[in-house]
Amino acid sequence: MQRFVPDHIFIEASVAQSILTRTVIDRCPGVPSTVIPDSRELIRAYRTTCGGGFEKRSLLLCKNRGRFLEPCPGTRGYICCGYMVLTPGIGCPLDCSYCVLQAYLNNPFITLYANQDDLFNALRSVPQGIVRIGTGEFMDSLALDHLTDFSRTALPIVARIPGLVLELKTKTDNIENLLDLDHLGSYIISWSLNTESIAVSEEKGAATIQERIRAARRVVACGYRVGFHFDPLIVYPDCEVEYQNVISLLEENIPPDAVAWISIGSLRFMPHLKKTALQRFPSTAIFSGEFVPGLDGKMRYLQEIRLELYRILITMLRQWSREVLIYFCMENDFVWQRTLGCTPGRQCSTLKEMLDQKTRRC
């Protein structure tokens, strides 16, 4: 897939001399840049003159005035995995029709937080008992790695914290920085997967499914553990055939003992996201399914529809491996019981305990 290079770079004056800023500028020769006094004024001006929408060709380097590390927000009424979210930036050069960021981001720019010393200090002070941290909540973990070198600069800090593992989640094949790292098991590299039809029609700018799995095979050859996230599963005629094709690719390319976990989740969205998504992607049909409000207010497929697709996918995955850990992202007790035969925290360990156990460095 093509690597992202911005058309313009905005630099907040307070981070103009930061290491990250200099790195990005060096990696973008010929790209014009503008130093601005305050990123908040830029964002307000853009939204006033351009209304809604996202500026997908500009990159903003600024200071993060909030927290870099927070618990996963989870969602009311559903089982959460209990990991921590690290936020090196927000926004994404990829443009998925279902992206949740459309529902609540006020910043239209692809943004990197250039006060990295503060980020690394947040990493060093990770709360006791936390062993899993992820960076894929507000941006793709690797889509900008060729510009930032984040995977290289963060590794020495993560590796020095006993037991800590950072999950880098992506829809790209941007793995070059990872291939020669002495990673010491400190990273788990994960890919979001869907059918090839969905990747083509709904995941603009992302790598193809074959490219993602080939990238996973390459990092496995370098000793990394990998994860896969079938999320969001999207229902359409004969989708189960295409999901089987994806799992067959996994079977051909990835040894099961290299897989830390596989998560499953179905399409879900806040009601107001649908209007925004249809304005930006008028040809998409993914919001026309049978949806009802869930316990958290998000629209979800009818439970019977979710159960049927989950059972099909789990059967396929179990034919590939009986041992790999499969879990649900934001599902209820009933769904867990009817598909995987247990409810975390009742008949078996909590989901956090199960995942923490799989996270331990080799």
Per the domain annotation, does 38 fall within a domain? no
pLDDT of 245: 98
The helix/strand/coil state of 291 is strand
Residue 162 CA to residue 77 CA, distance in Å, equals 32
Per the domain annotation, does 323 fall within a domain? yes
Per the domain annotation, does 94 fall within a domain? yes
pLDDT of 262: 98
pLDDT of 277: 95
The helix/strand/coil state of 162 is coil
Instruction: Tell me the β-bridge partners of 331.
Output: 79
Q: 60 phi and psi, to 5 degrees?
A: -110, 125
Per the domain annotation, does 265 fall within a domain? yes
Residues of the chain with pLDDT under 70: 51-52, 347, 361-362
Residue 115 CA to residue 103 CA, distance in Å, equals 26
- Residue 221 CB-density burial (10 A; 0-12 exposed, 13-18 middle, 19+ buried): exposed
Residue 266 CA to residue 264 CA, distance in Å, equals 7
| DSSP character at residue 72 | -
The helix/strand/coil state of 147 is helix
Per the domain annotation, does 307 fall within a domain? yes
pLDDT of 340: 94
Domain CATH code at residue 290: 3.80.30.30
pLDDT of 318: 97
Per the domain annotation, does 187 fall within a domain? yes
Residue 274 CA to residue 269 CA, distance in Å, equals 8
Residue 295 CA to residue 15 CA, distance in Å, equals 42
Buried b (16+ CB within 10 A) or exposed e, 86-120: bbbbbbbbbbbbbbbbbbebebbbbbbbbbbeebb
Per the domain annotation, does 50 fall within a domain? no
Residue 283 CA to residue 300 CA, distance in Å, equals 21
Per-residue CA distances from 356 to 129, 216, 340 (Å): 9, 21, 19
What's the structural domain count of the chain?
1
Per the domain annotation, does 56 fall within a domain? no
The domain in which residue 71 lies consists of 67-108+115-359
